[in-house]
Amino acid sequence: MELIELREDRARFLLKGVKPAFANAIRRACLSEVPSLAIDEISIYDNTSVLFDEQLSLRLGLVPIKADDLSLFSVPEECECGGAGCPACQVGMTLTAEGPCTVHSGDIRFADPGVKVAFEKIPIAILGEGEKLMLEGIVTLNRGTLHAKWQSGTHCGYKNLPDIQIADHCEGCGKCVEVCPRKILVIGEAGGKLEVTDPTNCSLCKLCVNECDVGAIKVVPIEDVFVMKIDTAGSMTAKDLVAGAAAEVKRRASQLSEQLSELA
Ligand code: SF4
Ligand code: SF4
Ligand SMILES: [Zn+2]
């Protein structure tokens, strides 16, 4: 693994020496198998807004929620309480507002001070004069495989790293530079030779290859090196998401290995 970029909400890295199935397993685990928090059940006591209760519930369910220490929480089915409900698998929330105002995600209150919304300014509802909202609910930890509201990753993808080969007979005409949509080809100042600035940003579109009249450039995907790009929904850092995905793939591989050894 070689890090290209690490932000709070995004990780880009090279994954080397693996098959596409492994890169895809990491991608899928980032998307939907690393557990995160989401509002799961809602009791609405008052809703005189223009939104139906169902619309309101859907919006609240999709608000990304983070915790100071996510390891303190368990998926209800895997909790010691057996899913009956305890502080390890349930956190209470309330939302009360009266118009005129715009109700934002930041107006949600949680019973656990270590739990908070990932973004304060997600609009939930616009309340007119005298319109009210009063509701309470339960936040639980679960996986995106059960419902999209628990997805920890948003845009998670991969592509092969290209080997961009420039032959000696390249004339440095710059025609490929003009057509490259990622602007990663340049004619170097010293000697006027064609150079590649950032092969990890190449989309493998091969427009440069088609544009070259003398066949001086080749773009060849490296079969066992992948450029991974992982964006989080905000409920955890990109670093925690990738580490969680790797742990999840490892857990599943161990499970499969155990099951196979029982069959043998
Ligand atoms: S690779 Fe082809 S199109 Fe690009 S600068 Fe060289 S000769 Fe020109
Ligand atoms: S394959 Fe496409 S993105 Fe990559 S260098 Fe060529 S033109 Fe640019
Ligand atoms: Zn519990």
Task: Read off the pLDDT of residues 102-157 as tens digits, 9 standing for 90 and up.
Answer: 999 999 999 999 999 999 999 999 999 999 999 999 999 999 999 999 999 999 99
Residues 75 and 92 in one domain: yes
Determine whether the annotation assigns residue 205 to a binding site.
Answer: yes
50 and 136 share a domain?
yes
Range of the domain at 110: 35-151
SS3 211: helix
Amino acid letter, residue 63? V
pLDDT in tens, 11-62: 999 999 999 999 999 999 999 999 999 999 999 999 999 999 999 999 999 9
Give me the mean pLDDT over the 67-80 stretch: 92
Please give the full DSSP string across 109-161, using - where no structure is assigned.
EESSTTEEES-TT-EEEEE-TT-EEEEEEEEEEE-TTT-GGG--EEEEEEEEE
Top pLDDT among 228 and 190 is at: 228
Q: Any known ligand binding at 208?
A: yes
Q: Is the pLDDT of residue 85 over 90?
A: no
Q: What is the pLDDT of residue 264?
A: 77
- Is 178 exposed, middle or buried, given 0-12, 13-18 or 19+ CB atoms closer than 10 A? exposed
Decide if 158 contacts 30 (C-beta within 8 A).
no
Coil, strand, or helix at residue 263?
helix
Is residue 195 domain-resident? Answer: yes
User: According to the model, what pLDDT value does residue 257 have?
Assistant: 95
For a pocket test of ligand 1, which of 164, 165, 175 has the largest count of ligand atoms closer than 8 A to its C-beta? 175
Q: What is the CATH number of the domain that holds 113?
A: 2.170.120.12
Residue 262 lies in a domain: no
Q: How far are the Cα atoms of 22, 76, 111, 140 from residue 30, in angstroms, in the given order? A: 12, 20, 28, 19
Residue nearest to atom 4 of ligand 1 (CA): 176
Ligand nearest to the CA of 188: 1
- Paired residues of 147 in beta bridges: none
Type of residue numbered 236? M
Q: Would you say the CB of residue 180 lies under 6 angstroms from ligand 1?
A: no
Which residues' Cβ are closer than 6 Å to ligand 2? 164, 179-182, 184-185, 202-208, 219
The answer to whether residue 246 is domain-embedded is no
Per-residue pLDDT of 204-224, as tens digits, reads 999 999 999 999 999 999 999
Indicate whether 255 belongs to any domain.
Answer: no
Dihedrals phi, psi of 155, to nearest 5 degrees: -90, 110
Q: pTM for the complete prediction?
A: 0.86
**pLDDT: is 85 or 17 the higher one?**
17
Q: How far is the CA of 75 from the centre of ligand 3 (A)?
A: 8
Q: Closest-lying ligand to the alpha carbon of 74?
A: 3
- Mean pLDDT, range 230-234, rounded to an integer: 95
User: Are both 179 and 48 inside the same structural domain?
Assistant: no
Contact 42, 137 (CB under 8 A): yes
The answer to whether residue 244 sits within a structural domain is no
Has residue 92 got a pLDDT over 80?
A: yes
Shared-domain flag, residues 144 and 51: yes
Q: Which of 184, 196, 209 for a ligand 2 pocket mutation test, highest count of atoms within 8 Å of Cβ? A: 184
In a domain, 222, yes or no: yes
Average confidence (pLDDT) over 238-253: 95
Asked if residue 128 belongs to a domain, the reply is yes
Tens of pLDDT along 147-206? 999 999 999 999 999 999 999 999 999 999 999 999 999 998 877 899 999 999 999 999
pLDDT, position 222: 97
